[in-house]
A and B are shown apart, each in its own frame.
Chain A
Amino acid sequence: MFSQYFGNYLLNRGLIRPDQLTDALEYQRSMRLKLGVIAVNAGYMTPAQVEEIHNMQKKVDKRFGELAVEKGYITEQQLEEMLATQKQGHLMLGQALVDRGHLTIEQLQEALENYKKEYGMSSRQFNVVGKDDSLQIEQIFRDHGEALLGKLYSDYVTLLIKNLIRFVDDNPIVEINQFRSDITAQWFVSQEIYGKINMFTAIACDRDVFVKFAAKFAQEDITEPDELAQASVGEFLNLHNGIFLVNMSNNGVELEMNPQQVEQNRTLANPGKAYVVTCHMTWGRFDMILV
């Protein structure tokens, strides 16, 4: 399994269903991370101790951290660390899954431990989801044999996140996976980049997401996948790739790109070494394919 992301890990282990992941991802956008989840992840408290504090909070008007310190489960310093982590939005997905009843906190703890053991990842690396951190994204590619292309792909995905935030969604969450099987999409917008480096880039999505994507980017009332909708999604890809080319040019690498193409009901056969960047937006999900 390639996925670096906890959501995919849970899916591939059969611990949650895709609809539960989607539900949790939607939910997590509006929530704040609870200290109990942070404490368990950090190894400061057991799930039973967290549960005990939660039960105490039903009776006394005190904060979680305050009670946990009083009980001697954590120190003041650990509480400060946990509060800092909370501000960084760590472990949001795990908490969302617990809050939505898709996992118990015990199941989450076990899954987190196995996940970290399997991938040797630190908490910081684990919490890359949704964060604009190019070094972490680069590490994902480097960890999986893309040492030479790691920086390139990392720059591309980092810029993608920035552009998604800039143009279509305040809080995108991306997952990076290896391209494993053929992809069929109702709407497929592609653009080739060529020169010293050759890349095939494409946005693949269903009709509903295509229309919403188009309306968001164009800031127009688009309700059908008509010519304007196609122009809009196409222009997003063109704009994103154009900025990528400018960045590469500033680093001394001159690249060119072909006009974007919009197709319906296209199947892309597994091209071998390629990636699928699944972008979870507040209004739907699409795949960015990088070959």
Chain B
Amino acid sequence: MSSNRPTILICDDSLLVRKKMKDCLKEYGDFNIVEASTGQSSIELFKQYEPDLVFLDIVMPDKNGIEALKEMMAVKKDVKVIMLSSSGTKSHLKAAMDAGAHDFIQKPWEKSQIEHIIRNIF
């Protein structure tokens, strides 16, 4: 894995979502992609890889995305975490923003949304 390329951590329990996100990201740059399928493994991989950007689902096994976000922010306060969830309820939005999320994207996402984020961050 090249250290020159930005690292993006995709956290979602759905293999399909991770695959689609990887396919999408490939169109906008050359990244090291790391995948996590549970809340707990998201945190462990976050600590291990120190990603430049995180896409984080909310509803995940063993630890939800909001809790995972708080733990990530405690490790690295300036990390860019994009919440990516089908359940963008008012309470989830508020909790995510209060915890320091950089942005919130409601699934299913549009490619242009991902492109916009990538262009802004990298």
Contact = CB atoms under 8 A, between A and B. Distances in A.
A238 B86 contact: yes
B42 interface: no
A256 B60 CA distance: 12
B119 to A, nearest CB: 25
Given A259-B59, A259-B61, A234 B89 contact: no
Interface stretch (A5-13, A44-52, A224-232): A224-232
Contacts of A231: 14-17
Contacts of B19: 228
A17 to B, nearest CB: 37
Contact of B86 (A220, A241, A256): A241
Interface in B45-93: 59-61, 85-91
Contacts of B89: 245-246, 248-249, 254-255
A230 B13 CA distance: 11
A234 B90 contact: no
A83 interface: no
Contacts of A258: 59
A288 B85 CA distance: 22
Interface residues of B, number: 19
B107 interface: yes
A218 to B, nearest CB: 5
Contacts of B108: 239
A18 B108 CA distance: 36
A245 B60 contact: no
Range for the number of chain A residues in contact with chain B: 20 to 34
A183 B37 CA distance: 30
A242 B87 contact: yes
A242 B88 contact: yes
B87 A235 contact: no
Interface in B99-114: 106-108
Given A239-B108, A246-B106, A259 B86 contact: no
B51 to A, nearest CB: 22
Contacts of B88: 242, 246
Nearest to B18: A231
Nearest to B62: A259
B16 A249 contact: no
Q: Which 4 A-B pairs have the closest CB atoms?
A: A242-B86, A249-B89, A231-B15, A242-B87
Interface of B: 13-17, 19, 59-61, 85-91, 106-108
Given A232-B16, A242-B59, A255-B89, 10 more contacts: A231-B16, A235-B16, A239-B86, A241-B86, A243-B86, A245-B87, A250-B90, A254-B89, A259-B59, A259-B61
26 contacts: A218-B16, A227-B15, A228-B16, A228-B19, A231-B15, A231-B16, A238-B14, A238-B59, A239-B86, A241-B86, A242-B85, A242-B87, A242-B88, A242-B106, A242-B107, A245-B87, A246-B87, A246-B88, A246-B89, A246-B106, A248-B89, A249-B89, A254-B91, A255-B89, A257-B59, A259-B60
